[in-house]
Structure 1
């Protein structure tokens, strides 16, 4: 499973990381073409979790570099530092469509779970 997880992460990173504006694109097709260039909060949160888990399990520091890029991206664009929470969706240039955040009952489920998984794997 570890090898498959690394393969999937690498594929998602090389095909999905926006080298111009940062962040991971929302969706690739089954043939790995970009089909949605928006940036969705839960995609970033799940990638943060995956990066930390792979960093610990593989002892490969490249995953910590990905973790740092992802977390810094979220800190800059997705986190509402005034009122809390993560904005749901940004366009490909990291502009908000609205100030809408995680809907009830999912309120920040993905970001909290990603942080929890990272803390858990480090202990």
Structure 2
């Protein structure tokens, strides 16, 4: 599932994963959503640890670098919610209460747990 999502959903031009693919594996929503990136970071790290396949760590690095550049607010903290395909924010809105960056924090936490069990 991860490989198919990565191969069909990674935006080779602008980076990041598209929000949605159809059952026929066609991109149906080109926006980039913060929680999709966070969950993919977590999945890539867990797969990297379990399979020892360096390709998952390359995906992890690509996702984390992408988020570092486009989603994370380095001045005030938090992750912006939604970007268009060209990585422009629709608004300055961040994770709404009560989520408060649940997905990014959980993704980092899952990665730390996975690395401790290698």
**So what's the TM-score if we normalise by structure 2?**
0.97
CA apart distance, 1:109: 0.2
SS in 2 for 1:35: strand
Can you list the C-alpha shifts for 1:47-88, whole angstroms capped at 9, x where unaligned? 000000000000001100000000000000000000000000
Structure 2 residue 84 is the aligned partner of structure 1 residue 120: no
Structure 2 residue 6 is the aligned partner of structure 1 residue 13: yes
Aligned to 1:66: 59
Among 89, 95, 99, the alignment partner of 2:88 is 95
* Structure 1 runs of 4+ with >6 Å offset: none
SS in 1 for 2:100: coil
Show structure 2 runs of 5+ residues with no match.
none
**So what's the TM-score if we normalise by structure 1?**
0.93
Aligned to 1:109: 102
Distance in 1 (alpha carbons) for counterparts of 2:55 and 2:3: 10
Among 50, 56, 61, the alignment partner of 1:57 is 50
Aligned to 1:4: none
SS in 1 for 2:28: strand
Aligned to 1:44: 37
Show structure 1 runs of 5+ residues with no match.
1-7
SS in 2 for 1:120: helix
RMSD across aligned C-alpha pairs, in angstroms? 0.4
How many residue pairs match? The answer is 116
Among 16, 20, 28, the alignment partner of 1:27 is 20
SS in 1 for 2:75: coil
